[in-house]
Amino acid sequence: MEKQILTDAGTYPDNSVIEKALGADWFGLFLEFIEKIENLNLTIEWRYYNDGKAWLGKIWHKKKNLGWLSIWNVGFKVTVFFTEKTIEGFNALGVDVKAQTSTGKLIPILMTINDDSALDNLITILKYKKELK
């Protein structure tokens, strides 16, 4: 059963906390993810959210929110939101990720990152979202 980790408000999710939560295999993939997003000039800002009772990492480019990162017992997950206008470009990317049911005007793309192909798809999606106006 999938379970979100990093739910203690008093424990900031630094690399040692994330390594313990993910384990050696997925932590290596997480470090690869961090390296790739840094190469794209993206940053992650961790914050504890009381409504979900968990830490989420906001993936930023300048002042633009590109997605949300969370740590789970099955790897890490990233959710990227698109609008009806921008989902067509997402669909044209040819990545093996399906859009979820829309929530209002936003269409969420939820990806579980636990292997290299999922990470490659995520980076493709983040590059696309970064370039949107």
Q: Is residue 94 included in any domain, yes or no? A: yes
Q: Is residue 22 included in any domain, yes or no? A: yes
Nearby residues of 129 by Cβ (< 8 Å), 6 or more positions away? 66, 67, 80, 82, 86
Q: Domain containing 102: what range?
A: 15-131
User: Virtual CA dihedral for 122, 128, 131, 133, nearest 10 degrees?
Assistant: -110
Q: Is residue 9 included in any domain, yes or no? A: no
- Confirm if 66 and 80 have CB atoms less than 8 A apart: yes
Q: Is residue 3 included in any domain, yes or no? A: no
> Phi, psi at residue 103, to the nearest 5°?
-115, 95
* Tally of domains within the chain: 1
Nearby residues of 91 by Cβ (< 8 Å), 6 or more positions away? 99
User: 55, 29, 28: which is closest to 44 by C-alpha?
Assistant: 55
Tokens of 23: 């384990």
Q: Is residue 44 included in any domain, yes or no? A: yes
State residue 43's pLDDT score.
97
Q: Is residue 55 included in any domain, yes or no? A: yes
Residue 52 sits in a domain of what CATH number? 3.90.1150.20
Q: Is residue 1 included in any domain, yes or no? A: no
Q: Is residue 42 included in any domain, yes or no? A: yes
Written as tens digits, the pLDDT of the chain (133 aa) is 899 999 999 999 999 999 999 998 899 999 999 999 999 999 999 999 999 999 999 999 999 999 999 999 999 999 999 998 999 899 899 898 877 778 788 999 999 999 999 999 999 999 999 999 7
State residue 36's pLDDT score.
97
Is this structure's pTM higher than 0.75? yes
